A = this chain, B = another copy of it.
Amino acid sequence: MAVRVQSEPFDAAAEARALTAGRADVGAVVTFVGLCRDEGGTLAALELEHYPGMAEEEISRVVAEAQARWPLMGATAIHRYGKIAPGEDIVLVVTASAHRAAAFAAAEFLMDYLKTRAPFWKKEHRKDGTSGDWVAAKDADDAAADRWKA
């Protein structure tokens, strides 16, 4: 498993390839990329603050939990921090498994848990110069995470 917290962009295709390179037992690879939306043209950038150290550790715990739940042959999670412009990638999750159901479920689980457990916070910088409402956590995200509880 690979977990990274970085300010630089990531290469989703290279990360996906890395999970299947040199093996032929993987039947399904699911790649999720979360991007910065421009919110109808009003957003200049998002600024992502994170808790260094805990961010990596918490994402690693979430990935380990996914690996315990589903028969994964690989899992990668990368989360960016810093200033991110609309259209840019923010987060990447890749899961590989023999079958698609596990790969899909694990990728969704990872995203739901990253949303609610990984210590990142988004501040909005608006095109009109005002900055920064902090993005509010969504009840829908808590509900999405809750559905994985036994």
Contacts and interface: CB of A to CB of B under 8 A. Distances in A.
A28 B107 CA distance: 13
How many chain copies? 2
B25 A29 contact: no
Interface string A74-103: 000000000000110000000000101101
Contacts of A36: 24, 27
Contacts of A108: 100, 104
A30 interface: yes
B38 A25 contact: yes
A107 B15 CA distance: 20
Interface of A: 12-13, 16, 20, 23-38, 40, 86-87, 98, 100-101, 103-104, 107-108, 111, 144
